[in-house]
Amino acid sequence: MKIITLKKVLTISILLGFVLIVIILISITMGSVKVPPLRSIRILFRAILGLKGAGNETERTIILSLRLPRAILAGFVGAGLSVSGATFQALLRNPLADPYILGVSSGAAVGAIIAILLGLGVSSFGLPLVSFLGALLSIVVVFYCGRQEGRIHPHTLLLAGVIVGSFLSALIMFFISLSQKEELRTIIFWLMGDFSFSNARSILIIFPYILLGVFLLYLRARHLNLILSGEESAVQLGVDVERLKLVSYLSASLITAASVSVCGLIGFVGLIIPHSVRLIFGPDHRLLIPASALIGASFLVACDTFARTLLAPVELPVGVVTAAFGGPFFIYLLRTRKAIRTL
């Protein structure tokens, strides 16, 4: 394992943070409506400084009310899914684990589809709320089925997640079969990942969950390193393994639930980003967690920018773009298995 120091963590995090800021700035200058790049950046910085005067009202609305919230939301979701994926891979010691492995995404999808069928799809608050409640309910069921004699057994928990996810997937197919043409397009876009409803309220919905969840997981970074060598070894080194698993599973699941509730199912981010970071920086979670968060945020902002500009004014679901990158990487992972050997 590479030697990790606080100075190294801070240096790499600052550099990756700078890259994220640059990608966000590029993102707000691009779109179906042409706003000159320098004017876009000037509008943003004058708004941050509380000044007025740059650009007309339409341009300010496009930059500050549409593109900027969308880029920030994509960044939060990318960071949350990446950290959740890294956590599940460590706890389950499964290199193919991702944030959706315990059925959280299916619960959120059922909630979102119910909200859309009830006419809440146009509400910026109703759909995320019902989706989040569906995800929370699936978490409760999975953990209830996955705990035996007060202990969390990874294989039992994983099996419970697969079973609950399969049942909820059947419900999703049932609701889709009942959908009207107008509702069906909204449902399909949500299931493939969609940031078109991004606004400041969406950011406020997920911000506390992602911030708190990442913070709690980072506090347990050293213990996550120890559990990679096996639960018995971790116990001998003084780790309260059951408490670690409970807090880590719940934190990662809540991050995933909050992320999915505002944008739908975005695949591969929580799988390919932790593996990429692990290959570059090593498996130490003191660096893996912040690096995954920042690289995941940059990756999803870039993918969303690509999705809304490639065929502009037609917008692609962002999940299509992440899958286009994730599919080849998955094949590469199976062929080389380098990432698997690092777990």
- Three-state secondary structure of 72-128: HHHHHHHHHHHHHHHHHHHHHCCCCCCCCCCCHHHHHHHHHHHHHHCCCCCCCCHHH
Report the distance separating Cα 41 and Cα 213, nearest Å.
32
Q: In the prediction, which pLDDT does 88 show? A: 92
pLDDT tens-digit profile of 277-322? 988 898 899 999 999 999 999 999 999 999 988 887 888 889 889 9
Cβ density class 292-327: b for 16+ within 10 Å, e for less: bbbbbbbbbbbbbbbbbeeeeeebbbbbbbbbebbe
Q: Quick one: how far is CA 229 from the chain centroid?
A: 27
Which residue, 39, 25, 36, 128, is CA-closest to 67?
25
pLDDT of residue 239: 85
What is the rounded radius of gyration, in angstroms, for the C-alpha atoms of the chain? Answer: 20
- Residue 39 C-beta-side C-alpha neighbours within 13 Å: 14
In the prediction, which pLDDT does 144 show? Answer: 86
The answer to the question of residue 263 being in a domain is yes
* 81 domain-assigned: yes
Please check whether residue 1 lies inside any domain of the structure.
no
Q: CATH code at 101?
A: 1.10.3470.10
The span from the CA of 215 to the CA of 296, in Å, is: 16
- Strand, helix or coil for residue 313: coil
**What is the predicted pLDDT for the residue at 339?**
46
Kindly give, in sequence order, each residue whose CB lies less than 8 Å from that of residue 283, ignoring residues fewer than 6 positions away: 1, 225, 228, 342, 343
The answer to whether residue 308 is domain-embedded is yes
Residue 309 in any domain: the answer is yes
Predicted pLDDT at 11: 95
Residue 22 lies in a domain: yes
**Which residues lie below 8 Å from residue 152, measured CB to CB, with a gap of 6+?**
143, 146, 242, 245, 246, 249
Tens digits of pLDDT across the chain (343 residues): 567 788 899 999 999 999 999 999 999 999 888 888 888 888 888 888 877 766 778 888 889 888 999 999 999 999 999 999 999 999 888 877 888 888 888 898 898 888 888 877 555 567 788 888 888 899 889 888 888 777 778 888 888 888 998 999 899 989 888 877 777 877 888 888 888 878 888 888 889 999 999 999 999 999 999 888 887 888 888 888 888 988 999 899 989 988 988 888 898 899 889 988 988 898 899 999 999 999 999 999 999 999 988 887 888 889 889 988 877 876 776 676 554 454 5
Q: What is the pLDDT of residue 72?
A: 95
Residue 335 included in any domain: yes
pLDDT computed for residue 336 by the predictor: 67
Tokens of 33: 């409506």
Domain that holds residue 274: 6-341
Residue 305: inside a domain: yes
Q: Report the domain count for the chain.
A: 1
